[in-house]
Amino acid sequence: MREVRYRAIADELRHRVERGEPAAGALLPSESELSAAYGVSRVTVRKALELLRDEGLIDARQGFGWFVASDPVRQSLGRLGTIEDQLGELGLGSERRIVGFRFVAAPPRVRQVLGVDSVLEVRRVNLAEGQPFARVTVWCPEDVGARLSRSDVESSPFYELVGVPIGGATQTIGAAAAGEDDAGLLAVPVGSPVLRCERITRDLDDRPLLVAEHVFPGHRTEFVVELPHVEPSISLSGLRLVE
């Protein structure tokens, strides 16, 4: 009887996934929630989920639980570009939602980089195919931000709005855990793994113009770097220990 039951649960979940409910990359209810919903043990639920995993329809990651399987969104780190551009190249629809637009005292790290006390802080959520893919916060000096409106930053990249040519950027990526705010915006559990990218954008004279923080759900994101020349080592380059 248990075997019939877990297969029946798998059949129902399979139909939901095939209808796009939930969408690719989205989290499924927890094993405890599914157990309560179907009135069965977690062992029975796990057997149903494992059956769907064997079929390639769903997957699981430590810290996330079960989610609808999807190819990770791969972003190249070898060039300066927007999330939207890279998603478009992958054939994925994208959207940005502004969730914060305000002038604030510069956080310590931003003050250290930009050398100013007051900044415009813009927070947004980027979506890929309707699913949250990144939380992005950008800080720019107050005199630059004073020329911008909420609709400006909703429709155009900051690179096009700062009014000076862009010289380059430095990106630093590390692992982190989703806090309560990011968990809510990205629809992931609190404490789940995320990738945090800090980008410092500079002008042609190498002066910092923008500081941005990008937070990506760890189960949906891959970063790719092309190495044009093979060095005489198999070690990764550009690594440093976090103190």
pLDDT tens for 214-231 read 999 888 777 777 766 655
Across all residues in the chain, what is the average pLDDT?
A: 84
Segments making up each domain of the chain, as ranges: 2-68, 73-224
Q: Can you tell me the mean pLDDT for 199-206?
A: 92
- Establish how many alpha carbons lie within 13 A of residue 100's alpha carbon, considering only the half-sphere containing its beta carbon: 16
Sheet hosting strand 193-203, strand order edge to edge: 94-105, 118-128, 131-141, 208-217, 193-203, 166-177
Give the integer Cα–Cα distance in Å for 93 and 67: 20
3-state secondary structure of 142: helix
Architecture of domain 73-224: 3-Layer(aba) Sandwich (3.40)
Query: For residue 77, what are its two tokens?
Result: 């780190």
Alpha carbon of residue 201 to chain centroid:
19
Q: Tell me which CATH code domain 2-68 carries.
A: 1.10.10.10
Model confidence at 2: pLDDT above 50: no
Give the integer Cα–Cα distance in Å for 123 and 37: 36
What is the per-residue pLDDT across 29-79, written as a single tens digit (0 to 9) for each? 888 999 999 999 989 998 999 998 888 888 887 777 888 877 666 666 665
What is the per-residue pLDDT across 149-191, written as a single tens digit (0 to 9) for each? 999 988 888 888 888 888 888 888 888 999 999 999 998 888 8
Name the residue with higher pLDDT: 191 or 82.
191
